[in-house]
Chain A
Amino acid sequence: MTAVVRRRALNLRRHGWSIGVWLLLAVLIGWYVLLIPRFGSFQIASIIKNSLPLVYLAIGQAVIVITGGIDLGAGAMLVLANSASATLMQDQPFLVTILIGFGIILGAAALNGFVGWIINVSRVPDIVVTLATSFIYSGLALMILPGPGGGTSAGFRILFTGSDDGTGTSFGFSLGMLLVPVVIAAFFMRRSRTGLSLYATGSDLNAAYLSGVDIRRAKVIGYAFGGAMAGLAGLATVAITGSGDPRFSIGANATLNSVAAIVLGGVALTGGIGSVVGAVAAAIIVFFLSPILSAMGIDPNTAQVVQGSLIVVVMMIAGLLALRRRRAK
């Protein structure tokens, strides 16, 4: 029977892309280590903590895209959460900032879940609704925080960066803050029934519905989860920078990076395929490619070209692999 397929081969195939992306990240960082005069805990801390916002954003984007949507408002949500938290947390003690942090995450989840609900009832394509919300979120951010400013507690900054001023050499906290959400998201998506129902919804709406999945609920959950991660990204931003910045362009840039990261990480924009684990490595690559290329002595304009070409080449490889697989089938 053709259906009997060896288990190991399958798993490698399914996770091969994630593994490849992590390898690419390792190679790039290895290269970077060779290029710079010193490599130590300062550099490790720098890489981990600074990529947190994009990593979170990419996890959220991955979940939403796997569910069959796309969130063009993710970056704007980051900006909104960043602006709101910086405004609320200023001059507050650590415990209060933590509470505010949870409040922000819940609020972001609720707001984005509401967006998922709107997509359900309006039947307007995700990309359009979230394009609109990207403007709305940015406007709200600017209303809350009219210009850069605000602040947070030192403890809150330590939580994400390991240092009370956001820069330093200890990376334990950042590593924890990187791993915990990744592990949670990965387990949620792969092991829980709800997570599987998100995959199912993105993979085949009809089959999912016929299998008894509540596809509307799945969409709301996907968006709420994505919103929570974007909220967390906003919190990480306030921890790293110690302030809020309501600029529209920051959000737009972050959104594009998150989309690039998940695609590079093997999440198919058609939904149902990919994993958050691959997206995490790709997010770090997308975030750090620019400094790494500059360390290689590449002129920044050329670096821009290299970065774009690299993404295209990687995606071409993905396309050719898929073609070969189809041929071999």
Chain B
Amino acid sequence: MTDALLETKAVAKSYGSVVALRSVDLTVQPGEIHALLGANGAGKSTLVKILSGVIAPDSGTISVNGRSVTMRRPPEALKAGLATVYQDPALVPDLTIAQNLTLTAIDEDAVRSRLTAMGLGRLDFDAQIRDLPLEVLRLLDLARALAHDPQLLLLDEITAALPSDQAEHVFGIMQEWKEKGRSVLFITHRLAEVLSLCDQATILRDGRTVAQVEPRQSGERGLVTPMLGEVAAELEAATSRVISQEAPINLATADLYSGGKVNGISFELRAGEILGIAALEGQGQDRLFELLSGDRRPDRGEVIVNGSPLRARSPYDAIRRGVVLVPSDRVLALLPKRSVRENLAIPLYNRVQRWLGLVGDEDTRTNKAIERLSIDTRAHRQVRRLSGGNQQKVVIGRWLANGFRTLLCFDPTRGIDIHTKRQIYDLLKEVADTGASVLVYTSELPEIPLLCDRVLVIYNGRIVHEQDAANATEEVLLSAAHGLEESA
């Protein structure tokens, strides 16, 4: 066997008292797609940051093509042949695409041809990053990384923010890289992707390498068991829940229109129901959630909460009526420098009447939320130090601590490990069982039958398909989402 392309030995890294990596061994051979797996907080992103020169390890060795390397800055990793697409976009928001490329001294044409291959050929390079949707940024990040023609491509949860059609482009590129005899280190929480794409998988748990397996042989269970250790979860089938047609309608919309993005949406959501929304990227689902959560007012039509119209000037009005939002982007929802507790308690104080003094049962409420979501509070003093999955739990936990009637979740499991995902499914069902309503948009279509009772497919700002979630196959949903079947 020749030298491995990348080999790390006993890499460790701590942040103060939080140990992010204890001892990571990873070997990536040339010409393979290698999955890096682990629950939230296992240390995947930390390893990626070390491999791309963003942070320095406390100890351990890294060698590329058999030669030991130290990378103190991102450009040094690039020089060593390692290019990374980080978990968070690494494009400068106030510059244009062209300027971002100039900044990194990357040839525009190379990026352009990459983008064309991904179906983004018409992208205006004078557009400001700030104005571009997240998926475009992910692909742009990818195209930029490819322009370096790296030996090893590191992809940290790139597919988490991508709708399935665009994820396909990424898979194509991974294949291409493999065929070229180069390698890809691929981080994802979607095990299906691992099973179908990856040749090898290294699994981290609590900052330690616990296994290296060949996914095609081990199967899903073979991945999950080492990943989760003792708590290895059952992969249950969809549970069908029965929603009484007499249950009150908690949330409804009547012919909503907004800025050409939402073009006449009407639906009803009953107490106890979990309603899924499926859509490709950019079909108006984000605007719909803005309207429902009181962040924006519709041009036409109404949002109806418990039978009376919601005329919200700000999210406060919706929250007061019991309609609360878990946004897609955690960065929007968290107070990064404050503690978990404060993050959870914030909505308790959105009313002026409660400004003087603290709510008596603040502690009980927040503790309950922490327990119920089993939030890992090792780094509780500042939420920014939590792993992505735990951050997401905090955002959901906030509403558990506060109370609500209708929960709007926009892609709540984005970037969440399989165990936590289960926890969130169970939690949402539990919440629904107590008579609340849940509206979920998810970019992962297989989630729909696992989580929802009913599903709406949105295309071009309109509902084009509706059905029971339990029988919703990915194929049916996908074709509806492409607008191929006009039915309502």
The answer on direct contact between A and B (beta carbons under 8 Å) is yes
Residues of A near any B CB (own CB < 8 A): 1-7, 10-11, 14, 193, 196-197, 199-200, 202-204, 206-214, 272-273, 327-329
Which B residues, 64 to 122, have Cβ-Cβ distances below 8 Å to chain A? Answer: 73-75, 78, 84, 86, 88-95, 99-100, 102-105, 120, 122
In the complex, what's the smallest C-beta–C-beta distance from A170 to chain B, in angstroms? 40
B136 contact set on A, CB distance < 8 A:
1-3
Residue of B nearest to A201 (CB): B92
Partner of A1, one of B89, B123, B126: B123
B124 close to A (CB within 8 Å): yes
Task: Mark the stretch among B127-135, B167-175, B210-218 that contacts chain A.
Answer: B127-135
B127 touches A10 (CB 8 A): yes
Residue of B nearest to A14 (CB): B128
B103 touches A213 (CB 8 A): yes
| Apart from the given pairs A196-B95, A203-B93, 18 other A-B contacts in the complex at a CB distance below 8 Å | A2-B132, A4-B123, A5-B124, A7-B126, A10-B126, A199-B94, A199-B99, A200-B103, A204-B93, A204-B94, A206-B88, A207-B90, A207-B92, A209-B74, A211-B74, A211-B90, A211-B103, A212-B78
Instruction: Name the residue in A5, A206, A209, A211 with the highest tally of chain B Cβ atoms < 10 Å from its Cβ.
Output: A211
In the complex, what's the smallest C-beta–C-beta distance from A17 to chain B, in angstroms? 14
Partner of A3, one of B78, B100, B133: B133
Residue of A nearest to B76 (CB): A212
In the complex, what's the smallest C-beta–C-beta distance from B315 to chain A, in angstroms? 15
State the CA gap A110–B310 with chains docked (Å): 60
In the complex, what's the smallest C-beta–C-beta distance from B472 to chain A, in angstroms? 27
Partner of B296, one of A5, A196, A273, A327: A327
Partner of A212, one of B75, B86, B102, B133: B75
Q: Evaluate whether A212 and B89 lie within 8 angstroms (CB atoms) in the complex, with A3-B127, A4-B124, A11-B126 already known.
A: no
B100 touches A211 (CB 8 A): yes
- The interface bits of chain B over 215-255 (1 if a CB of A lies within 8 angstroms of the residue's CB, else 0) are 00000000000000000000000000000000000000000
Residue of A nearest to B105 (CB): A193
Instruction: Name the residue in B103, B128, B296 with the highest tally of chain A Cβ atoms < 10 Å from its Cβ.
Output: B103
B120 touches A204 (CB 8 A): no
State the CA gap A204–B259 with chains docked (Å): 30
Q: Evaluate whether A272 and B88 lie within 8 angstroms (CB atoms) in the complex, with A4-B124, A7-B126 already known.
A: no
B104 touches A211 (CB 8 A): yes
In the complex, what's the smallest C-beta–C-beta distance from B411 to chain A, in angstroms? 18
Q: Can you name 26 A-B pairs with beta carbons within 8 Å?
A: A2-B132, A2-B136, A3-B120, A4-B127, A5-B131, A7-B124, A7-B126, A193-B102, A196-B95, A196-B103, A199-B95, A200-B100, A204-B94, A206-B88, A207-B89, A207-B91, A207-B92, A209-B74, A210-B54, A212-B73, A212-B104, A214-B73, A272-B92, A272-B94, A273-B94, A327-B296
In the complex, what's the smallest C-beta–C-beta distance from A301 to chain B, in angstroms? 38
Top 5 A-B pairs, shortest CB-CB distance: A210-B90, A203-B94, A272-B94, A200-B92, A212-B75
State the CA gap A6–B90 with chains docked (Å): 24
State the CA gap A4–B126 with chains docked (Å): 10
A211 contact set on B, CB distance < 8 A:
74, 90-92, 100, 103-104
A210 touches B86 (CB 8 A): yes
B435 close to A (CB within 8 Å): no
In the complex, what's the smallest C-beta–C-beta distance from B156 to chain A, in angstroms? 11
Instruction: Name the residue in B90, B105, B136 with the highest tally of chain A Cβ atoms < 10 Å from its Cβ.
Output: B90
Task: For chain B, give the interface size range.
Answer: 35 or more
Partner of B95, one of A4, A5, A200, A214: A200
In the complex, what's the smallest C-beta–C-beta distance from A257 to chain B, in angstroms? 25
Residue of B nearest to A268 (CB): B94
State the CA gap A199–B128 with chains docked (Å): 13
B127 contact set on A, CB distance < 8 A:
3-5, 10
A196 contact set on B, CB distance < 8 A:
95, 99, 102-103
B74 touches A210 (CB 8 A): yes
In the complex, what's the smallest C-beta–C-beta distance from B181 to chain A, in angstroms? 26
In the complex, what's the smallest C-beta–C-beta distance from B180 to chain A, in angstroms? 24
A202 contact set on B, CB distance < 8 A:
94
State the CA gap A6–B78 with chains docked (Å): 34
B264 close to A (CB within 8 Å): no
In the complex, what's the smallest C-beta–C-beta distance from A237 to chain B, in angstroms? 33
A327 contact set on B, CB distance < 8 A:
296
In the complex, what's the smallest C-beta–C-beta distance from A123 to chain B, in angstroms? 15
In the complex, what's the smallest C-beta–C-beta distance from A224 to chain B, in angstroms? 20
In the complex, what's the smallest C-beta–C-beta distance from A238 to chain B, in angstroms? 37
B301 close to A (CB within 8 Å): no
A6 contact set on B, CB distance < 8 A:
124
B282 close to A (CB within 8 Å): yes
State the CA gap A207–B90 with chains docked (Å): 4
In the complex, what's the smallest C-beta–C-beta distance from B384 to chain A, in angstroms? 12
Q: Evaluate whether A197 and B123 lie within 8 angstroms (CB atoms) in the complex, with A210-B86, A212-B73 already known.
A: no
In the complex, what's the smallest C-beta–C-beta distance from A315 to chain B, in angstroms? 19
B131 contact set on A, CB distance < 8 A:
3, 5, 329
In the complex, what's the smallest C-beta–C-beta distance from B231 to chain A, in angstroms? 33
In the complex, what's the smallest C-beta–C-beta distance from A252 to chain B, in angstroms? 30
A206 touches B90 (CB 8 A): yes
In the complex, what's the smallest C-beta–C-beta distance from B484 to chain A, in angstroms? 19
Instruction: Name the residue in B54, B86, B124, B132 with the highest tally of chain A Cβ atoms < 10 Å from its Cβ.
Output: B124
A329 contact set on B, CB distance < 8 A:
131
In the complex, what's the smallest C-beta–C-beta distance from A329 to chain B, in angstroms? 8
In the complex, what's the smallest C-beta–C-beta distance from B89 to chain A, in angstroms? 7
B89 contact set on A, CB distance < 8 A:
207
Residue of B nearest to A271 (CB): B94
B86 contact set on A, CB distance < 8 A:
210
B123 contact set on A, CB distance < 8 A:
1, 3-4
In the complex, what's the smallest C-beta–C-beta distance from A235 to chain B, in angstroms? 32
In the complex, what's the smallest C-beta–C-beta distance from A161 to chain B, in angstroms? 37
B105 contact set on A, CB distance < 8 A:
193
Q: Evaluate whether A2 and B92 lie within 8 angstroms (CB atoms) in the complex, with A199-B99, A327-B296 already known.
A: no
B104 touches A1 (CB 8 A): no
In the complex, what's the smallest C-beta–C-beta distance from B294 to chain A, in angstroms? 14
Residue of B nearest to A13 (CB): B128
Partner of B74, one of A212, A272, A273, A328: A212
A203 touches B132 (CB 8 A): no
Residue of B nearest to A10 (CB): B126
Residue of B nearest to A4 (CB): B122
